[in-house]
Structure 1
Amino acid sequence: MNKTRLTTLLLLAGLLMSSAAAQQSTRASTNIEASLINSDPVPLQSGEQGDLSFKIVNNGDKEAQNVEVRLLDNYPFELKPDRQRNYSLGDMVSGQEYQISTSVLVADDAPDGSNNFRVQISYGDFSVTRNIPVEVQSEDIELNVANLKTQPQQLMPDTDNNMMSVDIVNNGEKTAENVVLNLYFPGFFQETSSFSTRQALGNIQPGQIKTAEFNFDINETAPAGSTSINGDLQYSAGDSTSEITDPVSFNLYMEGKPQFQITGVESNLRTGNTGELRLEVKNIGAEQSSSTRIRVLDSSDQPFSYDSSSKYIGTLEPGKTGEAVFEVDTESDAAVKQYLVDFETRGVKSTEVFVEDETVQVDVTNGKTEESGIPVPLLGGLIVLIGAGIYIFRRRKSSSEQDEESE
């Protein structure tokens, strides 16, 4: 019985000694760790540079020989080019630590919160990469286009002195410096000055709004419907000399309207005569014109008078033509030449009246005979008088001859 107890005790003692030896063997190891001491500023700011201090510690109970540390670039951190990257720390006994300080560049789009700065630690045949959590605060510049307005509210073809305003909002957390908005107008927008497509807005702070205004004309070829306006925002950050360019795009709606063009002119005007002036009018716009009329704009220095200064054409659909005929009296002493005559065409869309002016060329020819220089009516009268005289003379001569024969 005593023998059995003794054997059991010996076995238990052996097990305890083996466990203690195993634990002692496990503890006798190296464990090199890296941890942050501090950063400057706290937290680091996106798009800026900052300083890091961290320590390398041997938390094992065994010496680590020939310890080397390499600082790694890892988004969103990049070691400044002039900073040391490799460190040789030599042998590190248990509990020994080294401090390393360096400077890093933080990416512009670094996210908020904890981001890892990485170091590679090597000793003997062993190598490990350690993550050092570092807090970052995002300070992005976020410029947005908002609150687009035009004056007049409805843009139309063939109009002058139009104005467009647009707000630039900084929804980021950092000031945008030297902000410039450039617009690239379509061909039917006409610039009225050097500021028609470029507006310098200066600095825009976080949460601030600045308004850019552009003035322009629109020519008659502008199509109805949605028109895309493209451009870009140029700016820089305070800690960078490089310029940032962001594309912008928005749509304007172009309202259609009736537009008129005189596409044909026929006339037979002669000095001292009444003739016709025939005009063909076309609706080149995108909308129907009702109650369309064309009116001659009388000029006191022109030798014309009209049976009516205005002629009714009626409804003109887009792309359709109508005709107006004026009866014109040309003064007898009018110069034989080409005259410029002004006309006004007006039409109605809903309750709005649209008016356009146009000048046409009208030829006047000579209404007098060139040979005698005597007006035709007077020449005709003279011929009648001469004929009557000859007739009377012959009658009298014949009567006289008959009287002589009878005697």
Structure 2
Amino acid sequence: MKRTLLVVLVVGSLLVSAVPAVALTSNPDLRTVTPEPNLAPGGINEVSFQLLNDPDGPDDDTRTATNVRIKPRDTGRIDVETGELYVSELPDGDPADLSLKLNVPANLASGTYRIPLDLTYEYDNGAGSATERKVTRYVEVRVESGPRFTVVDTNSTATVDGRGTLELTMRNVGDTAARDSTLTLSTSSPDVSLGASESSTRFVSEWERGENRTFTFDAALSDAATAGNYSLSARVDFEKPSGTVGETPSLSVPLEAHPEMTFAVSELRSTLSIGGSDTLSGTITNTGPMTAHNAVVEFNDTPTASAVGGGYAVGSLAPGESAEFSFRVNVAENVDAGPKQFGIRTAFRNGNGDQLRSDVVDIRLQVGANDPGFEIRGVESTLRVGEEGTLEGRIVNARDDRVRHAVVRFEDPGPTVTPIENTVAIGDLDPGEAANFSFDVEVTSSSDAGPRQFDLSVSYRDRDNAARASGAIPTRVPVGPGTAEFDVDPVDGNLSAGSGGEFRVTVTNTREYTVSDLSAKIYTDSPLSTSDDEAFVDELEPGESTTITFQLSAAGGATEKTYPVQMDFQYDDEAGDTIISDTYQVPVDVTTGSGGLPITLLLLVVLLLGGAAGGVFYYRRRE
């Protein structure tokens, strides 16, 4: 009986082992694998992971998971920036490659962290219907020890269409110090530049754990920028104490763009007139967001109007603060009277010391007709060509108010007329009051005699103590013909043909000042000649006369008539300047004699008589 049971068991065993084994079919079992789990604190990290459908047992068949939905959840310290993920089907052995964006705080302690994933999926249960299942899986990540950095604070002074600074404060919140760290700040906006480029760097040799560092960058905003916040990117490359190197993820750095620096102009007062130099005053107000340091209000010069003496310094203006300004503005004579548009702008320095200028503020001003406000009366002149004379007259205040510190100005008269002094101070004038003025004026010898028109003007201070100037006052002045420096008269102007001798001339100084180092010279033409053509006088007072002597001869064949001898003078005037006079002509009368023998005939007779006398003497000695 026992043997029969044993045979049955053995046979049964053999029968079972001879039948092929049937593979088991398992339901889906989802898992995660993270190839690179390391995180860099202080920014956004993108972590790649795989989702696998792989239950226990490598020889088992696994049903395909479909409609897989993955919902990541925050851990409390790490924020997940990625929303829901979806995989249509996940068969056995064919993983899905997915990724998560994780916002990792810079002060996150080193260690391992698990990011929860809420999974929902479906599968065929083998009975012809779908089964839905919900599970939670985790993506494991790791934070290694080392330096980590965070942005603590920023402060910007940059304005639209201007420059400024960005102060960036960062802290090492890691668990070790950093060595040889390089901070790189960069911008991707075309409206923002850092210095002269899109990025700027700073170096720190030792950055201790918990230490704050503040960096200052030059920042500029284009005129196309808008007020508000711009986002810059920062990255720190560093070396750990162990000698290994690392870098932070991109850190977001806010840059506040302040509104453009603007200024308002109000309370304008002006007395501008055509061809005049008048006062423009008003009030400038800083309507921008920052203090304008060392502000200077400038008149925007045009071809028809320009400020005298540059801008008006008003000092520093805080936002909302105002200051008064005043210009003296010259208006051209070719401008029509009426309302005109001009411009005011402000030059200033920002808090970083950069020199900036505001946009031009348009202003509308009334330009009056040319009314100098003064009259010239009683003009008298002793001006002569080639001489120094006097222009005198009276200036009358034709305005309705008193003027103070009035000065009459002789405007540029041209190259042939030169006032010795071009201003005369006449003091204060009440309405209708007049005062005398006088200018010493030199007229060159190249000038023409006749009536000339000169421009006089008056500068003064008005009742508001503002500096003003009238327009040009045309003044008609006669210029007489020039007079000779000297009177020249021959003492004896007769000379016989074929003879010579002294030629004496009386010279009289007709100038109103003493001349010195007077050198006279004569010039002759045939038949006259000279063997001594220069004479010198040490000094000649006004109206004084002296006689100077030359040697003069007339050729024997000269025709009996009057010949000119030319003479000029070189002398020093009262200022010590050396002057060459005009050329004078002195008449010389040449006569041929009455009934006498010509000089050549007389010489021939003398020679013949001498020869005869010599012959007689020789004859007598032979006897």
Give the TM-score taking structure 1 as reference length.
Answer: 0.42
* Bigger proportion of residues as helix: 1
Give the TM-score taking structure 2 as reference length.
Answer: 0.29
Higher Rg of the two aligned structures: 2
